[in-house]
Structure 1
């Protein structure tokens, strides 16, 4: 009888354990639970900021797990869901460069600025570095306003006014080199994370005895003016997008998907079809980008301009693509991270491709010193077409290059950032 009772109790306990195991909540990065699944030791503070349950003897110096709701989307950033796409030119290769042949690659999810960096953004940058950088660096960050100068064209007003006049605030900054754009990305990373440290860092408390004497809680670790990475209240670095990321985001093939993994069509431009005009709706027939329609035709005729942009235009002027990104064709070309090589399409990896150096395609092979080539390790790719380009260059698959220290009135940029872990819904 005792043996039978023992067996019944054992069976009931085993069944209960099975049920509890089946009903236990799966741990995630957002909700890792109150105690470690490896050791069973309670965290000093769980991911929701609550104290451990009764019986879980958490200590003040125990392992701390901070509340986390997902990676916050930085200001102006749009989430770009990664995936597979066919990278490369779909236009006729009129330059016969054959430097971007079609191939299938995969890009991880990332964030990208919904607009090009504007004059107002750059003036904010100049203000910031003037306070905490050397005069030499400040002067090196000034855009080259002389990019508008042309001995046979009257562009004097743009040379003097384009960067600083309030009427041009939301126009894309130009006259910045690849190096200057990269420096801006570093400053922006520090500025945003510094603001997050103020917003989410430990707050000063006032003593009950003396309200005028502030006391502080034990601060969370900081590095270079930012919170510790473990807090979740720190963003990865802003940077220039890779060529693959830029092209993927510009095509926005998500708008052509109709079932499973099938896509209805390839895209020549960041919108459907081969026309440069809006095909339907209240603004039918209006241009979808700011570009040069033909020799001498930058905007059409007065009273009925085709795109309205004799030079650049405000960054929200034209419709966004299916990822919510503005001016991925036209307005200004945009710098990307990659070093230019004509054979990158066959050399780079098919997962997150990038060429960051002359690995597998050495600089010495091109003999620039002997004037047999223009190619060296300072050439950087730019893409997208501009107000001064014909429609051919507005196709995301086309690519050109320029020395990383050079600047023109037709090249600007926007920033990108890696997406880490589960997609969060946080907004700063």
Structure 2
């Protein structure tokens, strides 16, 4: 009976006479589909919880190798020449290794970069087709959603987010004026985020802090930056961001790959209010508008932008990646006569 009521409420949405409970019922139906890799943002819109990673692109290329022409397969390769030159110029320790960022397994779950707008669009199309004929047609899905499928056709479409969709997702449910990066800064004392970001002081901090106007190292908490950007930390009271150049300090901030500007593991920082990781920083993200990326990257300063800022580009960049938006549709089937 309860499930039947859910279906009745969902049908009201198609007639336009929506009540709050009917709208909630519709959202629950859409979320029950559990489209792979995404989390809900608003209504029928979902978003990848993290940036598309190197391992996802390798999976895409593996599928193309089997099912597409050699010419198309080659056309979907990242700009590896740009990536290799960029890595060698900044990280000499990688030169001795036969692998590099894109193909090295330690970087599988780092954001894929060096791809074009057209390649990202093609990836989203491929992913849509793969989910439609794989996940949605699987015996497990049909068994789990037998009642849903008896009344609805389910459609899942992956694509690049519009600028408005990206900004809404990046805000994480907060006011973008009060929280221009989609999180509260500095974190509230006593919270898990506060404990995660609070950094211990050391001689390395003492060397960095005097360069910051108004900083008071004796009594000011120092927080690790919430995002992978040029600056690695900031002073709690003044919000003044800073970088430390000594090896000990950069290791403390960034871990293994702390020696310079570099992308990070997809889940290196806590998510925003929607459960989305790295909407700000790590890799700037393509949108459905060609030439406009959002969110900044490991090569950008926190002082340069907010989530409203657009970053122009005219081709693949070492700092530019993407994530997919996902739209879930439920189309009521015609009654069987």
Relative to the length of structure 1, the TM-score reads 0.54
Query: 8 Å contact 2:182–2:272 — kept in the other structure?
Result: yes
| Alignment gaps of 5+ in structure 2 | 13-27, 144-148, 199-222, 233-241, 332-337
CA contact (8 A) 1:334 1:382 kept: yes
For the residue of structure 2 that corresponds to 1:197, the secondary structure is: coil
| Counterpart in the other structure of 2:34 | 73
1:390 aligns with 2:301: yes
Q: Is residue 228–residue 281 contact of structure 2 (8 Å, CA) maintained in 1? A: yes
Post-superposition CA distance 1:162-220 (Å, at most 9, x none): 112111110000111111000000000011111122336889xxxxxxxxxxxxxxxxx
| Structure 1 residues 419 and 233: alpha-carbon distance in aligned structure 2, compared to 1, 3 A threshold | closer
Q: Which residue of 2 aligns with 1:219?
A: none
- CA distance, structure 1, for counterparts of residue 70 and residue 156 of structure 2: 28
Q: Secondary structure, in 3 states, of the residue corresponding to 2:46? A: strand
Cα deviations by residue, 1:1-47 (Å, 9 ceiling, x for unpaired): xxxxxxxxxxxxxxxxxxxxxxx979626589xxxxxxxxxxxxxxx
Q: How far did residue 124 of structure 1 move?
A: 0.5
So what's the TM-score if we normalise by structure 2? 0.67
Closer, same or farther: CA 130–30 of 1 in aligned 2, 3 Å: same
**Where in structure 1 are there 5+ consecutive unaligned residues?**
1-23, 33-67, 83-108, 204-228, 257-262, 340-379, 423-428
**Map of 2:156 onto structure 1:** 236
Q: 1:81 deviation in Å?
A: 2.2
What is the distance in 1 between the residues matched to 2:37 and 2:119?
A: 20
Q: Given the alignment of the two structures, is residue 142 of structure 1 paired with residue 77 of structure 2, yes or no? A: yes
**Count of aligned residue pairs for this structure pair:** 262
1:377 corresponds in structure 2 to none
Q: Which residue of 2 aligns with 1:324?
A: 275
Q: Is the 8 A contact 1:298 1:388 kept in 2?
A: no
**Cα distance between partner residues in 2 of 1:147 and 1:27:** 52
Q: 1:236: Cα distance to partner?
A: 2.7
SS of alignment partner, residue 124 of structure 1: helix
Q: Is the 8 A contact 1:174 1:411 kept in 2?
A: yes
SS across alignment from 2:166: helix
- Matching of residue 181 in structure 1 with residue 136 in structure 2: no
Instruction: Determine the structure 1 residue equivalent to 2:238.
Output: none
Per-residue CA shift, 1:309-337, capped at 9, x if unaligned? Answer: 53111100111001100001110100000
Whether the aligned pair in 2 keeps the contact of 1:74 and 1:235 (CA below 8 Å) is no
Equivalent in the alignment of 1:402: 313
In the alignment, what sits opposite 2:8? Answer: 28
CA RMSD of aligned residues (A): 3.7
Return the offset for 1:77.
0.3
Distance 1:300 1:331, change over 3 A: farther
Distance 2:7 2:86 in 1: 63
Please report how far the alpha carbon of residue 280 of structure 1 lies from its aligned counterpart in structure 2 after TM superposition: 2.8
Structure of larger gyration radius: 1
Superposed CA deviations along residues 372-398 of structure 1, whole A, max 9, x for unmatched, are xxxxxxxx2101111111113452011
Q: Counterpart of 1:212?
A: none
1:129 pairs with one of 59, 64, 87: 64
Partner of 1:166: 105
Partner of 2:194: helix, strand, or coil? coil
Please give the alpha-carbon distance, in whole angstroms, between the structure 1 residues aligned to 2:244 and 2:82: 18
When structure 1 is superposed on structure 2, of 315-324 and 392-401 the one drifting more is: 392-401
